[in-house]
Amino acid sequence: MLLVPCPHCGPRNASEFRYVGEATTRPDPRGASPEAWRSYLYLRRNPCGWQHESWYHRAGCRKYVTVERHTLTNEVRPATGPAAGVPVEGGTAAERGSAVDATATPPPGGAP
């Protein structure tokens, strides 16, 4: 069973969440080129190892969380440090000193 650490609800089964994808910085909608949007929407690094991901807690607090997941072992831990630096309201999670980012910018199209 894959447990995702939610900062509001505690560790929960991954079936309560919707996997959003690799945590990336969203381009500025006012000046981004089509190539920048294509890269943001479709291109992924797909590393073997630790990756920062966004998950939406649809069956719980209904917040976005950023976690680190090892793509080979599926070990999951809260995102920390500069890697949690996905832009969010009020600065990055690292700037706010948060271990888990529960307010990450939703993906295009919003939540299900």
Of the candidate CATH numbers 3.30.43.10, 3.30.2270.10, 3.40.190.10, 3.30.70.1560, the domain formed by 3-26+33-96 belongs to 3.30.2270.10
Q: Does residue 11 carry a pLDDT above 90?
A: yes
pLDDT of the residue at 45? 85
Average pLDDT over residues 7-24: 92
Share of the chain above pLDDT 70, in %: 71
Q: Does residue 10 carry a pLDDT above 80?
A: yes
C-beta of residue 12 within 8 angstroms of C-beta of residue 60: yes
Q: Domain residues of the chain, as ranges?
A: 3-26+33-96
In whole angstroms, what is the distance from residue 84 CA to residue 67 CA? 8
Average pLDDT over residues 18-28: 90
Beta-carbon contacts of residue 19 (< 8 Å; ≥ 6 apart): 53, 55
Average pLDDT taken over every residue of the chain: 78
pLDDT of the residue at 47? 87
pLDDT of the residue at 4? 93
Q: What contacts 24+ positions apart, CB below 8 Å, involve 82-87?
A: 83/52, 84/52, 86/23, 86/24, 86/25, 86/52, 86/54, 87/25, 87/26
pLDDT tens digit sequence for 55-99: 999 999 999 999 999 999 999 999 864 445 444 333 333 333 333
Query: For residue 38, how many other CB atoms are within 10 A of its CB?
Result: 11
